[in-house]
Structure 1
Amino acid sequence: MRESTTGTTARPRPGRGRRRLAGIAAAGALLAASAPAAQAAGVTADHRGTPGGGKVAIGFFTQWGIYSGFFEKNLIADGAAARLTEINYAFSSVSADGQCVSGDSWADYQRPFAATEAVSGVADAPGQALAGNFNQLRELKAAYPGLKIVISVGGWSWSSHFSALAATEAGRQKFVRSCVAQYIDGDIPGLPAGAAKGVFDGIDLDWEYPNEPGDNNPYGPQDTADFTALLQDLRGALDTAGEASHRHYLLTADTSPNQYAAARQLQLKNASRSVDWYNAMTLDFHGGWDSTTDFAANLFPDPNDPQPADARFSVAQSVAYYESQGVPASKIALELPYYAHAWTGVGATGDGLYQSATGPAASDQAGYKTVVTEPGTVHFDPVTASVWKYDPASQTFWTYDDPRTVFAKGLYIDLKGLRGASVWSLDGDDANGSLTAALATALRR
């Protein structure tokens, strides 16, 4: 196997206009480069799980991660539990009759955890009321009282029934009642009443996507208003539940960053009145489905981007669109990728960026911890505040975030007055939690 080169190069840029934008990006890049020094100096998130300035730092924990050995206790070992304000558990499914339902009851609340797997270091007892991930999340909250746990409902694979259930008031109310009963009241079917009460602090609606097919889902123009109505109904039910317990339950929504398509199907201003914030999914801008290599989650646009006008994306452009639609900055959180998109068949000329490819590489969507071990040269682009890796021997190109770019995005969030960031997903980080550490450090400035 070829050894990875260790050098990091900055892509040479020709002269161009829009110098102010490039200057801002370069400034952000210089600040990003200071991240390791800041961490070495001890600028880290405190152990209450709350970065300074009231920013949210949210990590998605995948339901299925335990099958590959990534447990809740890993979040203690890599420091994420101490640095995050919230964990979003992905996902709850939605049944054909439009109700919240477990997509994997074994992983969610049935699987017994051994002492070596458990947050507490104590094995689950036979016959205990709640086991699985839900019980481990409860143990994690006990260890980190400032940490919120939110159930994320839907996602790419389980959004097929949203359009139908949201189409009527009766359907929306049925869905809302089922979600609150299970995840707020803790009444899990087959378990003692209230067995999961206190695990979750709110609901994250991940409908992918209103009036867009997503994973070949039913959709229609009625989804636009129905999405707003569904959030209103969820907000009302969570407020009612909160009145009884004298607390505020969170309501967030994962929404598209695409100002040319999916984001235009949302009543962003009206719907924002119901949510605590949006998790704008500023990732997957480009990937192996494109014939040309490009950035998947660049912070700033590149004036030299060869894509057509309606396929040029950046985090900054998405934020500008949300704000133009009347969404307050305080209700925008940016979602960051802890994984790469990768192309193969990228000709061995130049540095691989904006080159034709034959398709996605086998390592497409590999986590950051895997990508950094792949052979190739890492390049840094100061205009977009992005990195990529290119290996001419295998003709493979990866676009991803590293601690520098995550730190730069954290600074951008702070400077723009945004609510914070979410990350997909925590199992993609390395054993030292390098990405989460960089994000938490930036949000404390």
Structure 2
Amino acid sequence: MKHLSQLLLFTVALLLLNPDFVFSQKKKKYIVNAYVGGFRGLVMTEDIDVAKLTHINYAFVDVKDSMAVLTNLATDSTNFRKLNALKLINPDLKIVISIGGWAWSENFSDAVLTESSRLKFAKSSVDIIRQYNLDGVDIDWEYPGMRGEEGNIFRPEDKQNFTLMFKVIRDELNVLEKEKGGKYLLTTAVGGSKSFIENTEMGLAQQYLDYVLIMTYDYGGRNGTVGHHTNLYDYGDSEEGSSADRSVKNFIAAGVPANKIGLGAAFYGKGWEAASSTNNGLGEKRVKAVQGGGYTKLKDTMIDQNGYKKYYDKKAHAPYLFNDSTKVLITYEDEDTVKEKCKYVKKNNLAGIFFWEYFSDPKKYLLTEISKNLD
């Protein structure tokens, strides 16, 4: 009874803080999927504008001994309870666990190496869903067949095992569906590079997946140069550039249906010190990485402030800041670019937009724009 009372009080508080929420709302046509960093500790769920979301991916669940493992049981379990309470406000909301991420992908290759290890991994993943009454599994393996973070285990067999992993997880989710009824999701966050496609079988893997979330950010310039990190289109003179448009086309060519693709938006900026001020640092050699920060911080304290001037690359559809005295360039996403990404989603019949990470923009500048343009 104590927990029920707390849940009711929590829900009432959310409604008072967010009077625009309603219990019945029109089901959204496109996904608006937020990654929420539960690995940091307790999530301030009362600050989440859940009416503007369709999915929350809870990041991250670790991989150890061929099992999906919660990294902090006390805070994770509390976070799951509070996130589930948001469904009282938005009944269509789906809560999905995201397994892996940059810092927790070192053991994926071992976990899916054999039939028995894959089954162990799949069962442990779905057991978390079963225990905490959640809605699905998201795999964020960074990266199959490639190093990713220093020290990660990877091997050529990852290419086929990546596909087999999804098959066995899907089988386990089907079992859960028979147990409880309803639909359970299986999604994956994937790198936007051509090398990711070359090291996987996306055309085969997609048959088991509800959504393929392409991380169309963290691009940067080629060969150690300063470049955009979340640009919509190619720029410069190279035929080998990186962009969201290029990534989407490559995944479609690899056999992923457009209507399963989620387009990534970055709610944070990345900074680099350039070797010179030529072309406002774009295309110049990187000297070192510099902290960028979340979009709320950029908008409120750095755009056309404190020595930073805003520029816009029309070809890339990407803004950036440059400080001429320090030669620091910050590449980021703003309201105009997420609006362009929304248009791109509609034009190309994609599933919708996802973003990393919700609390990087606490004033919801970008989420508000997405919600306005992707209904």
| TM-score of the superposed pair, with normalisation by structure 1 | 0.75
Which residue type is aligned with residue 161 of structure 1? Answer: N
For residues 283 and 350 of structure 1, what CA distance do their matches in structure 2 show?
22
Q: Name 1:59's counterpart in structure 2.
A: 34
Query: Percent sequence identity over matched residues?
Result: 28
Q: Secondary structure at the match of 1:278?
A: strand
Q: Name 2:46's counterpart in structure 1.
A: 73
Note if contact 1:407-1:438 (Cα within 8 Å) is conserved in structure 2.
yes
Unaligned runs of 5+ in 2: 1-19
Runs of 4+ in 1 over 6 A off after TM superposition: 44-47
Following superposition, the deviation at residue 238 of structure 1 comes to 0.5
The answer to whether 1:434 aligns with 2:369 is no
Q: Name 1:339's counterpart in structure 2.
A: 268
1:360 to 277, 289, 295: 289
The answer to whether 1:370 aligns with 2:297 is yes
Q: Name 1:395's counterpart in structure 2.
A: 327
For residues 217 and 23 of structure 2, what CA distance do their matches in structure 1 show?
28
Question: RMSD of the alignment, in Å?
Answer: 2.1
Note if contact 1:293-1:352 (Cα within 8 Å) is conserved in structure 2.
yes
For residues 147 and 327 of structure 2, what CA distance do their matches in structure 1 show?
33
Q: Secondary structure at the match of 2:34?
A: strand
The answer to whether 1:218 aligns with 2:153 is yes
CA 1:208 to 1:382, structure 2 compared with 1: closer, same or farther past 3 Å? same
Q: Name 1:284's counterpart in structure 2.
A: 218
For residues 71 and 326 of structure 2, what CA distance do their matches in structure 1 show?
38
Following superposition, the deviation at residue 49 of structure 1 comes to 7.2
Q: Name 1:92's counterpart in structure 2.
A: 61
CA 1:411 to 1:58, structure 2 compared with 1: closer, same or farther past 3 Å? same
Note if contact 2:22-2:89 (Cα within 8 Å) is conserved in structure 1.
no
CA 1:320 to 1:236, structure 2 compared with 1: closer, same or farther past 3 Å? same
Q: Name 2:181's counterpart in structure 1.
A: 246
1:113-132 superposed matches below 5 A: 132=78
Following superposition, the deviation at residue 415 of structure 1 comes to 0.5
Q: Name 1:172's counterpart in structure 2.
A: 118
Following superposition, the deviation at residue 404 of structure 1 comes to 0.6
For residues 274 and 351 of structure 2, what CA distance do their matches in structure 1 show?
40
Q: Which structure shows the bigger proportion of residues in helix conformation?
A: 2
For residues 89 and 286 of structure 1, what CA distance do their matches in structure 2 show?
26
Following superposition, the deviation at residue 160 of structure 1 comes to 1.4
Note if contact 2:226-2:283 (Cα within 8 Å) is conserved in structure 1.
yes
Following superposition, the deviation at residue 345 of structure 1 comes to 4.6
Q: Which has the higher contact order (CA 8 A, sep 6+)?
A: 1
CA 1:346 to 1:367, structure 2 compared with 1: closer, same or farther past 3 Å? farther
The answer to whether 1:294 aligns with 2:263 is no
Which residue type is aligned with residue 145 of structure 2? Answer: N
The answer to whether 1:421 aligns with 2:353 is yes
Further displaced range: 100-109 or 409-418: 100-109
Following superposition, the deviation at residue 304 of structure 1 comes to 3.2
Q: Name 1:383's counterpart in structure 2.
A: 315
Note if contact 2:99-2:139 (Cα within 8 Å) is conserved in structure 1.
yes
CA 1:91 to 1:323, structure 2 compared with 1: closer, same or farther past 3 Å? same
Q: Name 1:102's counterpart in structure 2.
A: 70
For residues 128 and 279 of structure 2, what CA distance do their matches in structure 1 show?
54
Q: Secondary structure at the match of 1:285?
A: coil
Q: Name 2:7's counterpart in structure 1.
A: none
Note if contact 2:98-2:138 (Cα within 8 Å) is conserved in structure 1.
yes
1:143-158 superposed matches below 5 A: 143-158=89-104
Q: Name 1:410's counterpart in structure 2.
A: 342
Aligned residue pair count: 350
1:231-242 superposed matches below 5 A: 231-242=166-177
For residues 202 and 409 of structure 1, what CA distance do their matches in structure 2 show?
26
Which residue type is aligned with residue 187 of structure 2? Answer: T
C-alpha deviations, 1:27-73, integer Å up to 9, x for none?
Answer: xxxxxxxxxxxxxxxxx998767674x21110000014456xx6111
Following superposition, the deviation at residue 348 of structure 1 comes to 3.9
Q: Name 2:6's counterpart in structure 1.
A: none
Note if contact 1:86-1:148 (Cα within 8 Å) is conserved in structure 2.
yes
C-alpha deviations, 1:349-374, integer Å up to 9, x for none?
Answer: 5433223331111x24x111122212
CA 1:90 to 1:232, structure 2 compared with 1: closer, same or farther past 3 Å? same
Q: Secondary structure at the match of 1:358?
A: strand
Note if contact 1:346-1:397 (Cα within 8 Å) is conserved in structure 2.
no
